[in-house]
Structure 1
Amino acid sequence: MAEARLQLVARRVRSFPDFPQPGVLFRDMSPLLRDPEAFAATIELLAEHLEARHRAKIDCVAGLDARGFLFGPSLAQKLGIGFVLIRKRGKLPGPTISTSYSLEYGQAELEIQEDAIQPGQKVVIVDDLLATGGTMSAACKLVQSLKAEVLEGLTVVELTSLKGREKLAPIPFFSLLQYN
């Protein structure tokens, strides 16, 4: 049953060669988002993984701006826990903390509200795709700076040739689909 749902999810991820620039193979999840059955399967598979691995230890799901916002709230609701925003700098009101990180093409900054996560809480961070790991790694640092524990990072798609998983170590990481 899980294998059939995973295949459904995989069939809804399409590839666009040379986008956004020559040599890049873009993994597009738009068809996955348009298909309610495939989207539901995605959330169910992620939730089942977390429930098997962490049982009732998770306090909240944190989602990365912007596509982590597509999967994170549904996953949090499925698990019966809250959802927290990790946004690009300047997008959140109130007191925030931020961190900068390197992208393939420059620098960026992420931030979180100071009161979004309490010390000692156990957090799972979700995004749509893991490439080089810079954004997910920065999000882990933000959560840890609030004295919370990152239980795991997870995505729908992982581009394994970019070795982003290695940048997250020792934090566990899980992806539903892996592409070279």
Structure 2
Amino acid sequence: MSGGAAVPAGAGDPSLDALIADLAVDVPDFPSPGVVFRDLTPVFADGPAFRRVVEGLAAPSLVDPRAAALAAGGAGPGYDLVVGVEARGFLLAAAVALDTGLGVVPVRKAGKLPRERLSADYSLEYGTATLEVHTDSIRPGQRVLVVDDVLATGGTLAAAITLVEGLGGIVTAVSVVVELAALGGRQRIAPHTVHSLWST
């Protein structure tokens, strides 16, 4: 791993973070009083903006140097599989997988997957929740890009990383549209490389 290295927002494209900031809508007091929800659905609904977001999330420069070297040599994007975290991560991961010609694996909330699965708990403000993945969805040694919409406290993504690594996968990077830097999620999932298109 690259020791939790910071990758510049927008993968070197300062206009992308400005575009996301312009289209995203802040919704006060949602889902509870005092919380400001950053709604990214207008970004996803704008075709050209969504394409740029997907390309930014999939960029080979976001992975560790060994994988980036493979990508530069024409061996693909530096990862073998894309994992998306329920729910908005599904939209993004599927688009990244399609863009790169790779497969996509959903990490789901408890009770949604029908076959043998691995589970990981994570903390919420009031209690815990569980994420699951099918045990045959990731092979040992596969290089995995984990994709979600927002990195906040890091609990959800830490659980997703635990699942990938529990099946023998290698997390080459975590790629998100927005990082809420003040909440410390990057530190929680260190030493994994975090790639955010817009850090606020």
TM category (shorter chain) comes to over 0.9
Tell me, in whole angstroms, the C-alpha distance in 2 between the residues paired with 1:62 and 1:86. 7
Check conservation: 1:9, 1:39, Cα contact below 8 A. Answer: no
Matched with 2:174 is 153
Are residue 69 (structure 1) and residue 90 (structure 2) matched?
yes
Check conservation: 1:120, 1:149, Cα contact below 8 A. Answer: yes
Q: For residue 158 of structure 2, what is the amino acid of its counterpart?
A: S
Matched with 1:38 is 49
Question: TM-score when scaled to structure 2?
Answer: 0.84
Kindly tell me the number of residue pairs found equivalent between the two proteins: 178
Moved more, 55-64 or 1-10: 1-10
Q: For residue 14 of structure 2, what is the amino acid of its counterpart?
A: E
Matched with 1:10 is 21
Check conservation: 1:118, 1:146, Cα contact below 8 A. Answer: yes
Unaligned runs of 5+ in 1: none
Are residue 114 (structure 1) and residue 125 (structure 2) matched?
no
Check conservation: 1:69, 1:85, Cα contact below 8 A. Answer: yes
The higher relative CO (CA closer than 8 Å, separation ≥ 6) is in: 2
Match of 1:177, SS state, is strand
Unaligned runs of 5+ in 2: 1-11
Tell me, in whole angstroms, the C-alpha distance in 2 between the residues paired with 1:72 and 1:106. 27
Check conservation: 1:9, 1:41, Cα contact below 8 A. Answer: no
State which of 148, 152, 166 in structure 2 corresponds to 1:131: 152
Tell me, in whole angstroms, the C-alpha distance in 2 between the residues paired with 1:72 and 1:111. 16
Matches within 5 A, 1:99-110: 99-110=120-131
Are residue 25 (structure 1) and residue 18 (structure 2) matched?
no
Q: Percent same amino acid at aligned positions?
A: 44
| CA shift for structure 1 position 8 | 2.0
Tell me, in whole angstroms, the C-alpha distance in 1 between the residues paired with 2:182 and 2:17. 21
Q: Show CA shifts across 1:22-61 (max 9, x none).
A: 221110012112111111111112222x356432330100
Check conservation: 2:62, 2:173, Cα contact below 8 A. Answer: no
Q: Show CA shifts across 1:145-165 (max 9, x none).
A: 001111111110111111011
Check conservation: 2:93, 2:104, Cα contact below 8 A. Answer: yes
Check conservation: 2:62, 2:195, Cα contact below 8 A. Answer: no
Tell me, in whole angstroms, the C-alpha distance in 2 between the residues paired with 1:169 and 1:128. 18
Q: For residue 41 of structure 1, what is the amino acid of its counterpart?
A: R
Matched with 2:58 is 47
Question: TM-score when scaled to structure 1?
Answer: 0.93
Tell me, in whole angstroms, the C-alpha distance in 2 between the residues paired with 1:64 and 1:92. 13
Alpha-carbon spacing, 1:132–1:5, altered in 2? closer, same or farther (3 Å) = closer
| CA shift for structure 1 position 139 | 0.4
Alpha-carbon spacing, 1:165–1:31, altered in 2? closer, same or farther (3 Å) = same
Are residue 163 (structure 1) and residue 161 (structure 2) matched?
no
Tell me, in whole angstroms, the C-alpha distance in 2 between the residues paired with 1:45 and 1:174. 9
